[in-house]
Structure 1
Amino acid sequence: MPDRLNDDALSELPSEIRRPAYDRRAVKTGIVHLGVGAFHRAHQAVYTDDVLGQDPQWGIVAASLRSPDTFDALQPQDGLYTLAVRSREGEALRVVGSIGRIIVAPRATDDLLEVMADPGTRIVTLTVTEKGYCHDPATGALNEAHPDIVHDLAYLRTPRSAPGFIVEALRRRRLAGVAPFTVLTCDNLPSNGRTVKRVLTRFAELVDPELGRFVANEVSCPSTMVDRIVPATGDQDRERIGAALGVQDAWPVVTEPFTQWVIEDRFPQGRPAWENAGAEFVADVEPYEHMKLKLLNGSHSTLAYLGYLSGYETVADTMADPAFVRLIEGLMDEEVAPTLHMPPGADLNSYKKALIERFRNPALKHRTWQIAMDGSQKLPQRLLGTVRDRLREHASIARLSLGVAAWMRYATGIDEKGAPIDVRDPMAARLRELADGAGGSAENLAGALFGVREIFGDDLPGDPRFTGAVTANLARLYERGAKRTVSEFKAD
């Protein structure tokens, strides 16, 4: 038996390990995925793996736009990897085979563009995180001054960004008389399909007005809602999973039992029968998207910043503190849920209860530091949209403003004990400069950060109901610390 997971090892794996129920040699490429990370491999790739036995024309070529790490780990494994689903009851393992090939874009730009331009590719999916769209999070418009966008407009044939790759591939297809692929974003953006359509159309207009009209009129960008918690894989995970397999897996993925995918059914060139794997196709995904962004992601970010500052390493550790459970339940029930407008049949109370249980899952080691990444990009979608909804109704934002204040405290890069925080954020240097200039004053820090219009826009900094609540909570965090602030929290 080989020492490493690969096609040759499949037949010799222990019988309890689930493996692809189809002939991988018969699979053809129908999907190109940009941003091959842990979430894609725990979510869309699994749904696709479940239906390839029915229709083998939807295999995935996955591309990394930056790091070669996933390629280096999985290419020797023929693209195979283990999915470990962890719960209180234990761990279930399966080997996923839907990714047939991995490309590192900076190493093989032409190769990736050729695959995307190939007529067989009918869908391009994305999980490049919020920052990967090179847009202004406050407005959803293309950031035309973004360094990658400036580069890609100057050098169309050697793009760096996701918008650059997609538009160049669409340009080539148009010239060759090949119908455009569907662009299916699976990232946490508001109205994510419409946002990516806006970004792509503007980029294409800057290349050529005719190309811009083509993208606007001919390219389908359905909106989606994706939901599954996927912590970072650790060495202990690799060792445990390798022992169960009997072979090494360089990069397994660990996740929870819960998974959800809601998709607008607009695929002119066809699509896999993902509904047979549990996906839900709807005419309008927006209510579900708001539900997830506001309830799950908004709560997650609030937990991440306050939990990290309180000294809790994981979400489960944070939720073992009853004060945090009370805070998050109140956030969901009192401040977020009233802003949601769900279609008939959607059970909001059950979803909220399920979220609390998922956050409490001790088998998932989801680090608060990991969730805290890229806060400047996440805050507008996860918390500030709900803040605006509440302010329009003249309603309380007590808990929402505490989450925003916790992000401000975290973004200083110095924790409550004076130790450095490894702030991973595209604006980290700018945020740290503003924090250093505040001199440790909550009022000065809040005032400086409110001036970052890419995050807060032009409206919120001028609303004293918002600025006053955030500044007061930030002062409490400085004076009392996060853990005491949460334990003593009382809504307005």
Structure 2
Amino acid sequence: MKNIKDMKIKKSGFPVKVIQFGEGNFLRAFIDWQIQQMNKKGVFEGSVAVVQPLDRGMIEKLDEQNDQYTVVLEGLLDGKKVQSEEIINVIDHTVNPFKNYNDYLALADIPTAQFIFSNTTEAGIAFDPNDQLNDQPAKTYPGKLTQLLYRRFKNGLPGFQVIPCELIEHNGDELKKMVIKYSNLWNLGENFVTWINEQNDFYSTLVDRIVPGFPHDTKDEVFERIGYEDNLLVKAEAFLLFVIEGDKKIEKLLPLSKAGLNVIVTDDMQPYRERKVRLLNGPHTTMTPLGLLAGIKTVGEVMQDRDFLPFIMDEMHKEISPMIDLPKEDLESYAQVINERFNNPFVHHELTSIALNSISKCQYRLLPTIVQNIEENKVVPKRITLAFSAWLAIYGDLISGVKADDTDDVMRALKELKKSPDYLESVLAYQEFWGRDLTKVPGLLKTVKQNVNALKQFGARHVVQEINKGA
């Protein structure tokens, strides 16, 4: 069978309008896919320069395929079955700043570049006071971005529309704060800060598309259907939602709606974010450790499991929805949509792909619901706290069967925390992870310890069954 790297497919040939930090499955199936749709409609006519944000990445694999890959969409959209494939050809070139720092800075010299997109995971938007301007490159994404923006400023070129896709609250505002902090740390001057404020727009966003990634279990079947091999193929659901908060001018500069894409530009994205992060991402981060510990591999298997399905449904309806300030009918309707998306028969969304960087995911996806339940109802929510407990046990090597995979900083901190005589108390008190001392949240430490003991003694499935009995 032929391989995509041997197929003579032309790149878009359009000028670089987008600098993209991240080459992972999500950005390639979300941002790059949308850019391709705009190009096909003739409303954008731009290409992408991809930056590898970490020293280990996959741009070499992209380059081997002439920076092209396939997106396979499968699922239901507006009640209709969708099963399609498309070769994405919008990536103009890639840059590894760890190997070619000068090439990285040269991206700031591209006069046609207007947009910066990123998805460096929830842990990516961070500040490290040890970063220096002359580092090649800075360690953090905001540090790298500041280096690029400073080069742009010195060139006398206009600024960017900066659109982060990391799933943290007010991601655009947070990213801008980090850039300003680096500007001050590095003494880049008031004129540069003024240029940041006046020449660049930072947008907060909400991104919503389930992207399982490469279909390891069914790759031969997929290759047979599309007629060629593609080791960077990305599977995604047909559903897509892109919420952008900020200046309405972005609708003209980035004409996603003209390409028929589901984009919302709003003055307040918080209701959309609360609904999505808690009701979609929350259950994902709940089912992953418990499912993996029970030998379950995919989201679909969770939703077909007689023990885990009611567990997740009860979490959504009894623990999460009551904590969201939206009409009950709206939440029930969205929960039903999520149920259908989780049950998408075409998508084999592996739990291991959700497990990456789960400390920050717990912070943003689980803890707000846990703490709100405790503060407002004086009750520790059983299901979502069990999942949080399972993650802490996994990261502390208190339970076998699942391996933690997180950023270097997190893993270094955990190495020290595990030396404590009471790891669970120490990790809950570690404010660098959670933004607060969780041992002071009434009943949480006691419940976490009880949960971890039960998981170690009886196993995840048994504990889930017991919670279901007391539903």
Asked if Structure 1 and Structure 2 have the same fold, meaning a TM-score greater than 0.5 normalized by the shorter chain, the answer is yes
Q: 2:245 aligns with which of 264, 268, 276?
A: 264
Q: 1:176 to 1:124 in 2, by over 3 A?
A: same
Q: Shift in Å at residue 286 of structure 1?
A: 1.6
CA distance in 2, matches of 1:253, 1:63: 19
CA distance in 1, matches of 2:132, 2:248: 28
CA distance in 2, matches of 1:359, 1:251: 23
CA distance in 2, matches of 1:56, 1:100: 15
CA distance in 2, matches of 1:254, 1:82: 8
Q: 1:273 aligns with which of 237, 247, 255?
A: 255
Q: Which runs of 5+ in 2 are unaligned?
A: none
Q: Which amino acid aligns with 1:313?
A: K
CA distance in 2, matches of 1:5, 1:56: 26
Aligned position for 1:391: 374
Q: Which amino acid aligns with 1:40?
A: L
CA distance in 2, matches of 1:165, 1:326: 45
1:161 maps to 2:144: no
CA distance in 1, matches of 2:325, 2:198: 30
The answer to whether the 8 Å contact 2:35/2:44 transfers is: no
The answer to whether the 8 Å contact 2:39/2:46 transfers is: yes
The answer to whether the 8 Å contact 1:202/1:212 transfers is: no
Q: 1:252 aligns with which of 225, 233, 237?
A: 233
User: 1:4-43 counterparts in 2 under 5 A?
Assistant: 4-5=4-5, 8-9=8-9, 24-25=12-13, 27-43=14-30
Q: Which amino acid aligns with 2:338?
A: L
Q: Shift in Å at residue 169 of structure 1?
A: 1.8
CA distance in 2, matches of 1:235, 1:171: 42
1:231 maps to 2:212: yes
The answer to whether the 8 Å contact 2:382/2:467 transfers is: no
Q: Shift in Å at residue 224 of structure 1?
A: 0.7
User: 1:2-81 counterparts in 2 under 5 A?
Assistant: 3-5=3-5, 8-9=8-9, 24-25=12-13, 27-53=14-40, 54-66=42-54, 70-81=58-69
Give 3-state SS (helix, strand or coil) of 1:174's partner.
Answer: helix
The answer to whether the 8 Å contact 2:428/2:437 transfers is: no
Residues 254-281 of structure 1: per-residue CA shift (max 9 Å, x gap): 1122221111243768622112322222
TM-score by length of 2: 0.88
Aligned position for 1:304: 288
Q: 1:479 aligns with which of 448, 457, 467?
A: 457
Q: 2:395 aligns with which of 391, 403, 411?
A: 411
Give 3-state SS (helix, strand or coil) of 2:202's partner.
Answer: coil
Shifted more, 35-44 versus 91-100: the winner is 91-100
The size of the alignment, in residue pairs, is 457
The answer to whether the 8 Å contact 1:6/1:78 transfers is: no
TM-score by length of 1: 0.84
The answer to whether the 8 Å contact 1:305/1:406 transfers is: yes
Aligned position for 2:99: 107
Q: Which amino acid aligns with 1:274?
A: L
Q: 1:264 to 1:378 in 2, by over 3 A?
A: same
Q: Shift in Å at residue 238 of structure 1?
A: 4.5
Q: 1:432 to 1:486 in 2, by over 3 A?
A: farther
What root-mean-square deviation, in Å, do the aligned CA atoms of Structure 1 and Structure 2 show?
2.8
Q: Which amino acid aligns with 1:4?
A: I
Q: Shift in Å at residue 55 of structure 1?
A: 2.8
The answer to whether the 8 Å contact 2:22/2:118 transfers is: yes
Q: 1:114 to 1:217 in 2, by over 3 A?
A: same
The answer to whether the 8 Å contact 1:78/1:100 transfers is: no
Q: 1:165 to 1:7 in 2, by over 3 A?
A: farther
The answer to whether the 8 Å contact 2:70/2:230 transfers is: yes
Q: Shift in Å at residue 56 of structure 1?
A: 4.0
Q: Shift in Å at residue 368 of structure 1?
A: 1.8
Q: Which amino acid aligns with 2:319?
A: E
Q: Shift in Å at residue 205 of structure 1?
A: 1.6
The answer to whether the 8 Å contact 1:87/1:361 transfers is: yes
Q: Shift in Å at residue 348 of structure 1?
A: 2.2
CA distance in 2, matches of 1:156, 1:436: 32
User: 1:149-298 counterparts in 2 under 5 A?
Assistant: 150=130, 152-156=131-135, 158-208=137-187, 209-210=189-190, 211-212=192-193, 214-216=195-197, 218-235=199-216, 237-266=218-247, 271-276=253-258, 277-298=261-282
Aligned position for 2:467: 489
Q: 1:454 to 1:131 in 2, by over 3 A?
A: same
CA distance in 2, matches of 1:314, 1:235: 12
The answer to whether the 8 Å contact 1:204/1:215 transfers is: no
Q: 1:5 to 1:345 in 2, by over 3 A?
A: farther
- Percent of residue pairs identical: 24
User: 1:326-345 counterparts in 2 under 5 A?
Assistant: 326-342=310-326
Q: 1:3 to 1:203 in 2, by over 3 A?
A: same
Q: 1:362 to 1:437 in 2, by over 3 A?
A: farther
The answer to whether the 8 Å contact 1:203/1:212 transfers is: no
CA distance in 2, matches of 1:326, 1:246: 40
Q: Shift in Å at residue 36 of structure 1?
A: 1.3
The answer to whether the 8 Å contact 1:205/1:213 transfers is: no
The answer to whether the 8 Å contact 2:16/2:110 transfers is: no
Q: Shift in Å at residue 218 of structure 1?
A: 4.6
Residues 167-206 of structure 1: per-residue CA shift (max 9 Å, x gap): 1122122223222112111011112112212222212221
Residues 324-375 of structure 1: per-residue CA shift (max 9 Å, x gap): 2222222222222222234x89932221112122223343222222212212
Aligned position for 1:95: 87
Give 3-state SS (helix, strand or coil) of 1:179's partner.
Answer: coil
Q: Which amino acid aligns with 2:387?
A: G
Give 3-state SS (helix, strand or coil) of 1:489's partner.
Answer: helix
Q: Shift in Å at residue 405 of structure 1?
A: 0.8
Aligned position for 1:325: 309
CA distance in 1, matches of 2:354, 2:169: 18
CA distance in 2, matches of 1:163, 1:315: 33
Aligned position for 1:16: none
Q: 2:111 aligns with which of 110, 116, 119?
A: 119
